Amino acid sequence: MSNKKYTVLVADDDPDYLFQVAYHLRNCGYEVMAVESQAEAEQVFSKMKPDIALFDLMMESDDSGFILSYKLKRLYPDVPVILATAVARETGVTFGLSSEQERDWIRADLYLEKGVRPEQLDQAIKKLLKI
């Protein structure tokens, strides 16, 4: 890995989950900007460009993650976005990014179920950042 410190923007309204993810990402060598809402995330990326973003799907609204992905990609089309959610576990509703139509609508690069192990998340980030 190069000496560059990659910045990960993490938005999740669950403070415990946010703390754990930020802690693990910092241990992996990333610079982490952790925020607890869609509104805060929008403020952050309106001022600075993260290298990658990890958004919870449901925050202020059921589609906060989708909205953030859309807005971030409009500003910075090259920034990878990971959506993390427990929605499938909680509701049984699943979706994916396998079709062109889904990717066009969702605008995320990767979809992860919450509970992903820290090393899996690190691997996913490295793959998306090509490092």
Quick: pLDDT tens for 65-117: 889 999 999 999 999 999 988 755 444 454 554 555 544 555 688 888 888 88
Q: What is the mean pLDDT of residues 17-33?
A: 96
Average pLDDT of the chain is 86
- The gap from C-alpha 80 to its chain's centroid, in whole angstroms, comes to 8
Q: Are strands 7-11 and 31-35 parallel, antiparallel or unpaired?
A: parallel
pLDDT for 31 equals: 97
* Predicted structure pTM score: 0.85
Distance between first and last Cα of the chain: 6
pLDDT tier at 59, thresholds 50, 70, 90:
confident
pLDDT for 103 equals: 46
Residue with the bigger pLDDT between 47 and 103: it is: 47
Check whether 12 has a pLDDT greater than 60: yes
Short-list 9, 5, 17, 4, CA closest to 113: 17
- Which DSSP category does 24 fall into? H
Q: Which domains does the chain have, with CATH numbers?
A: 7-129 (3.40.50.2300)
Torsion angles phi and psi, residue 65, rounded to 5: -65, -40
